[in-house]
Amino acid sequence: MFFTLLKEVSDCMINTKSQDKALQIVLFDLYIWLIDRTHRIINKQFLEITFMELECVIKDLDKENAISHDFGDRIITKLSELARKADSDGNIVILEIVGLFSGFLDENKEVHFIHSSPERKGKLYKGVFNIATNCIENDFEEGVRRCSNTIGWFTIYSIKQCNGELTKYLIKLAKGMLEISKEMNVSKQTQIFILT
């Protein structure tokens, strides 16, 4: 029943256009609410289904160029905030969001609304960094490593694209992540992971 209802919401959202920004925001906020609610349920399939549907919706909207500048910013901001506010029960939410962000810039599978905007790429990179900082503060080292790995792949991809400014920014974020890890006494293994 949950999947059926969520599929209806997804279908509604997929049929919107960029000028339907207000409707897109309401439907997107429903996904955010569902993620916040379903991560507390013992059966993690509800959360997995929510993220799976959200990813499909974003990619389908992106294919149709139906994501406006403001809505694109909102997607990154709201998901980053959700991951940063996650408590120890929300570690799976953090990993799902970092995975989603990573998938937005998978080589040759990028979503246009981020790939076409250096400003939005920077916002995405900063979002991953902020999530990593939260993971460091909450002693969630798997999340730190996942964020570090994502920043690393973003850096490699940025170098391949010869994008000097964004590459420098990514290296600065990785360095900041390492410095914060040292200050907060994160394990040596994780510090080495960040460094590499």
- 85 in helix, strand or coil? coil
Q: What is the pLDDT of residue 86?
A: 78
pTM over 0.75: yes
Q: Is the Cβ–Cβ distance between 88 and 40 less than 8 Å?
A: no
Residue 98: partners with Cβ closer than 8 Å, 6 or more residues away = 83, 128, 131, 143, 146, 147, 150
pLDDT, tens digit (0-9, with 9 covering 90-100), for 109-143: 899 999 999 999 999 999 999 999 999 999 999 99
How far apart, in whole angstroms, are the C-alpha atoms of residue 184 and residue 90? 21
Cβ neighbors of 122 (< 8 A, separation 6 or more) are 166, 169
**Contact of 102 with 153, CB cutoff 8 Å:** yes
Beta-carbon contacts of 60 under 8 Å, excluding residues fewer than 6 positions away, are 14
pLDDT at res. 89: 67
Provide the residue type at 159 as one letter.
Answer: I
At 124 the pLDDT is 97
pLDDT of residue 150: 96
Per-residue three-class SS string for 59-71: HHHHHCCCCCHHH
Rg for the chain (alpha carbons), in Å?
Answer: 17
Residues in the chain: 196
Q: Which residue has the tokens 């170098």?
A: 159
Tens digits of residue pLDDT in 1-47:
888 889 999 999 999 998 998 999 999 999 999 998 888 888 888 99
